[in-house]
Amino acid sequence: MATANTASPVRRYNLRSQTPRHLQIFNPPLEPCGDFHLFARFPADIRWLVWQHSLSHERWIDITLDRFDYTDLAHEVRELANSEEYNIVLSHRWRTSKLFRTTTESRTAALAFYRVQLPCWYKSKEKVMSRGRLYVCPELDHFFFQGVSFEYFERFAHDVWAYDPHHIGLINIALSATFPSSCFERSIIPNYGPSLLRQGLSRIERLTMMNYGGSKRLSRQSRHPSYQMNHVVPIRSGVQSFDRLPYDPRLHGEDLKQVFLGDIYPQTSFNRWFKLLSTSMVRHDHKVIYQFGSCRGNKTGHGYRDPVIHDRKSAVEWIRQDTDELQQWVESLHQSPDLRGQVENEMARVFEESPHPVIGFWLFPMESVFIPEDPNIHAIPVMSGQFATAQQAANAHTNSDEVLMDQYGTGSGADVLYTVGLATCVRVAVTGTYPAGSRGGNDRFLAHISEDEPHAALQGLINSVNEAKRNGMRIDKARVVVGDYSDNSDFDSNNESDQENNEEQNKFTAKVGASILELVGGSGSGKLKRKTHAEEKVYELRIDGQKRILFKWEDGAGWESSDSEED
């Protein structure tokens, strides 16, 4: 749990009664600090350590990235003229540390601690845009992106890295648990070479999917109006800095067994993120911490009707408004006095049994809401030396049963896929199974891969199988059919040209085979088998309606089972 650095039963509950339990903030008030007149006598290096220590706390920073021209809002809103420019917009003016304005020495220490400084804008309650400066400590600052386009995200991530003397960059980010899939997909067509987006995503060390909407639901759409409220959930404030607690001290064993999350599905958000990493061809060589967060409200200045919580007084005012809204909703049911009394009794019970409200937010491991089927999902397997861009791979997909050269196909149910291979091509078939109760998806994949680069069909098959794995599919088997130049009847081992052709074919076969072996889990998985034939013979590879992988020589009598071939 993260907490912000802020400072008897009755039948009919009056929400406006004096100092009820639900207005007693759990966060302890800040203790006043006395004067320490000997501080100036400390050695300079000791004073520096004290300044640095006083700044060493994590911060949660809500930002928006856009391209609007805020210099002249008297006229119609327009975009910045320079297509390379973007804005960093804060939800409201944040309070900077007092060390920036205490002494020259303390300001120097603060600037060294917040070593990345970027220009920004901030919004006032009157919606007036003012210029400011964002001070960043990359190791401790968490950035919550609101409605972000990844076109702007990659520029922001690059700037944080480029202006950081230590080149740590942007490593802690948070997204809304209801983040729309269109934002993930927009502007994401990675190139074969390095891109700013790929570089920015590869530096991420902590991702949090934050749920702001899981505390309240009021419904009048039926004969029996209902409400769902969870007053145990912490309240999000407008205070940047926060401290971590190992657990929520207000709670007991039963409090987290059934938590109302609202209309969200955390697994969807995480799956979108992993798809983004796969599409962007990002592989993390370090451990990434994935978390799910939850808090009440989202009243941190994003909505101008809502108070910004910056101290205990404003926190109490926020809670009053929140409970007044519920009171007004109950009073609107006056046409049914019996029902109103029933609901008010339930409200009294909820408020009297709930723990004291707390300012902060919960953080849970991703596995508490979403357990990946793939144990390697934290570092999505993407082959080194990518074979093609995501767009090229997508263009290689076919919806036909017959998969032609440099194409790949996918299917499910009773779908049949087949390809008739040219002698020098490599054909790949993969099948899998989804666990009971999962949403399912494509469970058979077939590719026909030629020597010509880029190998878009191979990349497309790998991307599709990885996506299916993230949706829960487990690979059952994979088969590779390859031609062997040395098996041809006219092959001459003493002929230099034949030797070169054989070596070239072997390199191509090894490249494809290694990528498929990695895809299915390595040599120890026992899932990959290979069929080798003379190049002068043309073989057909088929996945039938029962997901059996079969092949045969074009002039052969019948189908051969692939299960008897060598690993």
Helix/strand/coil (H/E/C) assignment for every residue in 305-331: CCCCCCCHHHHHHHHHHHHHHHHHHHH
Per the prediction, the chain carries an average pLDDT of 78
Domain ranges, ordered by start, for the chain: 51-311+360-368, 384-564
Output the pLDDT for position 382.
39
Domain made up of 384-564: CATH architecture: 2-Layer Sandwich (3.30)
What is the distance between the alpha carbons of residues 184 and 319, in angstroms, rounded to a whole number?
A: 34
> Considering Cα of 270, then 273, then 279, then 281, what sign does the dihedral take?
negative
Beta bridge partners of 539: 553
Lowest mean pLDDT among 264-268, 538-542, 558-562: 558-562
Output the pLDDT for position 336.
64
- Pairing, β 206-211 against β 474-484: unpaired
What is the distance between the alpha carbons of residues 27 and 6, in angstroms, rounded to a whole number?
A: 7
Instruction: Name, in order, each residue with C-beta under 8 angstroms of 149's C-beta and a sequence gap of 6 or more.
Output: 65, 183, 186, 187
| CA trace torsion 303, 309, 315, 319 (10° rounding) | 10
Higher-confidence residue of 315 and 485: namely: 315
Tens digits of residue pLDDT in 229-263? 567 888 888 888 888 888 888 887 666 766 666 66
Residue 395 pLDDT > 80, yes or no?
A: yes
Output the pLDDT for position 77.
67
**Beta carbons of 117 and 133 less than 8 angstroms apart:** yes
Residue 3 pLDDT > 90, yes or no?
A: no
For the ranges 296-300, 474-478, 530-534, the one whose mean pLDDT is highest: 474-478
For the ranges 144-148, 164-168, 483-487, 537-541, the one whose mean pLDDT is highest: 164-168
Provide the H-helix boundaries in 84-212.
104-113, 150-162, 181-185, 196-202
What is the distance between the alpha carbons of residues 457 and 408, in angstroms, rounded to a whole number?
A: 5
295: left (phi over 0), alpha (psi -120 to 50) or beta: beta
- Pairing, β 426-433 against β 474-484: antiparallel
If 0-12 CB within 10 Å is exposed, 13-18 middle and 19+ buried, where does residue 163 land? middle
Structure tokens at 515: 């990528």
Residue 451 pLDDT > 60, yes or no?
A: yes
Quote the pTM value: 0.61
Output the pLDDT for position 2.
76
